[in-house]
C-alpha cells in the first residue's frame, strides 16, 4: 500500500476493469509485443514518460467514463501498474 493509496476506499468493482483497460492501453502505447502485467514498474521497467502517462489517464477516463482526481496523484508513490490502478479505483468519479 502506497502513501497515495493509504486509507482510501477502493472501488472493488472498478479496479479490475482499470487493470484490464490499462494493460491493454499500455501494450499499445508502448508498442510492446509482450503483455503488460500488474506488477510491472511504470517508469523503471516500462519506461513510461510523464507525457505518455497523461495520455494513458485520458484514454482510461474516456473508456471507463470516469474522471480521475489527478490533483492528489503523486506519481512518485505509484510505482507499478497495480498501484496506479488501485489509486484510480479509489480516486475517481463517474465522468
Q: Which residues bind other proteins (CB under 8 A)?
A: 43, 47, 49-51, 54-55, 57-58, 61, 70-76
Q: Minimum Å distance from CB 47 to other proteins?
A: 6
In this structure, the strands spanning 66-68 and 92-94 are antiparallel
Compare residues 75 and 82 and give the one whose CB is closer to other proteins.
75
CA-wise closest residue to 22 among 42, 7, 49, 2: 42
How far apart are CB 74 and other proteins at their closest, in Å?
Answer: 4
For residues 70 and 78, is the Cβ–Cβ distance under 8 A?
no
The least CB distance from residue 4 to other proteins, in Å, is 9
Amino acid at each position: 500500500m502506497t502513501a497515495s493509496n493509504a486509507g482510501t476506499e477502493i472501488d472493488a468493482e472498478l479496479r479490475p476493469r482499470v487493470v484490464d483497460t490499462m494493460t491493454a492501453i499500455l501494450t499499445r502505447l508502448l508498442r510492446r509485443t509482450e503483455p503488460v502485467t500488474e506488477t510491472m514498474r511504470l517508469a523503471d521497467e516500462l519506461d513510461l514518460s510523464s507525457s505518455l502517462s497523461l495520455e494513458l489517464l485520458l484514454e482510461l477516463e474516456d473508456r471507463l467514463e470516469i474522471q480521475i482526481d489527478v490533483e492528489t496523484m503523486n506519481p512518485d508513490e505509484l510505482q507499478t501498474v497495480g498501484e496506479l490502478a488501485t489509486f484510480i479505483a479509489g480516486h475517481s468519479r463517474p465522468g
